[in-house]
Amino acid sequence: MAITPGAPVTREAAAADEAGTAAQMPWPSERRGWFALFVIVLTMFITFFDSTVFAMLAEKMKGSFGLSDTALGFLLGPASVVAFVFVGIPLSRLVDIYPRKLVLAGGIAVVGVITALGGLAQSFSQLIGTRLFVGAGGAAHGPGSYSLLADAFRPMRLPLVFALVQVGFVFGSSLGTWGGGQLIAWTDTMPERIDFLGLEIFSWQLILLIIGAPGLVAAILFLMVREPPRRLPPGTNRLVPPDAPLGRKLLAFTGLDALRAINARGAVYWPLFFALAMSAIESQGLPAWRVPFITRTYGWTADEIGNLLGPLIFVASICGILAGGVFVSWMNRKYIDGNIRACAIIFTCTTIFAIAAPLMPTGELALTCMALTSFCGLAGAPAQNAAIQRIAPNEMRGQVTAFYLFMFTFFGAMGSFVIGTVSDVIVGDPAKLWEALLIVAGAFMPLATIFMWRAIKPYGEEVARLQERGL
């Protein structure tokens, strides 16, 4: 941009000049970007494979440690995110200022090691302790992955790239369901307690030792990723000047700056955040209780559930990604608020299937409804992520994304605890777990849908405002 000699340099002119400088930066090799994407997808696969298999061990853990449904729900959910509350936002700040591949490598290494240590736990409290650190280790994966990929690929590639990221979730969840059933059937052939490295453990704990090891492989692969240069205008990613006082630098790690930015546009952000939180209570709480629900209600075994649910979830998820991509693209061509308008329609369908699942007369129909909720969830997930990336300020995108993902992670983890508590306190009969699922789905999914519909107008207005500024 040319500036008249002697004229004062305005903030707008400087910003435009910096934007032009950023636009002239050469893009890194796409071959390196595809390798980074491969490692990120592999890491997501490992993460969701592990969490799915861990959830399938619910009945084993309940019997071995003599747990109530409330205690089991806490183990399956909140125990893994308590540490996230304290380290999730600070770690997302590290994503904004340090090489993202190092943050991501450290995170998945911690997840793998601590998952394996759960296989050596001698008590329920020790097992809870391992889940605390698993949550901490995975806290920066979402913000770090999205940030790295946004600098590794041209904007026109990002819709495809973000859709491919979901492949890790699809394969991890579906193969985790099938693989978990096979691993449980394998350990059922062993004595209830076995000796391992001088310790007496339950035979099912061998599964945790096995699924933890691949995390170290992913960590090594992350170290081989070529870190792409950040494509932000000079200085815009410096949320805090280098010469700022130490106290100000530490304050930046609390996420208060990002929270102020979110609150300044609260009309657009908060409905999206609350919609995600309410839906996560059901959508992330339900998978942890799928096996207990089908077992108690229809009398199926874990391997029978895995043999049917695994393929169902896989097919439904792949179809969800494809159908969702087509539907969201069509909505975006017609509406400026297409991302959120599409999500509102998808949330409506999800609500119907989530409420219908526990009411089904057969296990096959119940699992089919659960698969359809996965179909809808994968159809809407890329649009939700794209919507947040579209409106988040560049200089604090990592922390804004972390807050958004926190709503998903924290409330999603609380979902299993909420279902367990409803089962114990309101229903009062473990054999009627289906009533607890129905109550939770009927209470939270309609709220999520209402919030998403209310987000359409303010989101469209925010996108229009950004377009007027050339952003």
Helix pair 82-97, 397-421: axis angle to 10 deg:
170
Residues 6 or more apart in contact with residue 361 via CB below 8 angstroms = none
DSSP three-state, residue 238 = coil
Q: Report how far residue 22's alpha carbon sits from residue 237's, in angstroms, rounded to the nearest whole number.
A: 12
Residue found under tokens 């526990």 = 358
Provide the 8-state DSSP code for 196: E
pLDDT mean by block of 10 residues, the chain; 471 residues: 35 42 63 90 89 85 87 77 67 76 89 88 86 73 80 72 80 82 88 87 91 90 88 53 60 66 81 89 80 89 80 85 82 86 93 94 91 87 76 69 76 82 89 91 93 92 80 61
Q: Find, among 377, 415, 431, the residue nearest to 76 by Cα.
A: 415
Paired strand residues for 200: 195
Q: Report how far residue 294's alpha carbon sits from residue 291's, in angstroms, rounded to the nearest whole number.
A: 5
- In a 10 Å sphere around its CB, with 0-12 CB exposed, 13-18 middle and 19+ buried, how is residue 309 labelled? buried
Which domains can be identified in the chain, with CATH numbers? 29-228+257-468 (1.20.1250.20)
Residue 69's pLDDT is what? Answer: 85
Q: Report how far residue 302's alpha carbon sits from residue 59's, in angstroms, rounded to the nearest whole number.
A: 9
| Mean pLDDT score of the chain | 80
Q: What is the pLDDT of residues 356-372, one digit of tens each?
A: 999 999 989 999 998 89
Q: Where are the alpha helices (DSSP H) in 119-213?
A: 124-137, 141-152, 158-187, 205-212
| Encoded tokens for 318 | 């792949």
Half-sphere exposure of 38 (CA within 13 A, CB side): 11
Question: Are the C-beta atoms of 308 and 367 separated by less than 8 Å?
Answer: yes
Paired strand residues for 201: 194
Residue found under tokens 């609380």 = 414
| Encoded tokens for 456 | 């359409």
Q: Find, among 313, 351, 316, 346, the residue nearest to 438 by Cα.
A: 351
Concatenated DSSP letters of 82-100: HHHHHHHHHHHHHHHHS-H
Residue 9's pLDDT is what? Answer: 37
Q: Report how far residue 226's alpha carbon sits from residue 233's, in angstroms, rounded to the nearest whole number.
A: 21
Residue 352's pLDDT is what? Answer: 94
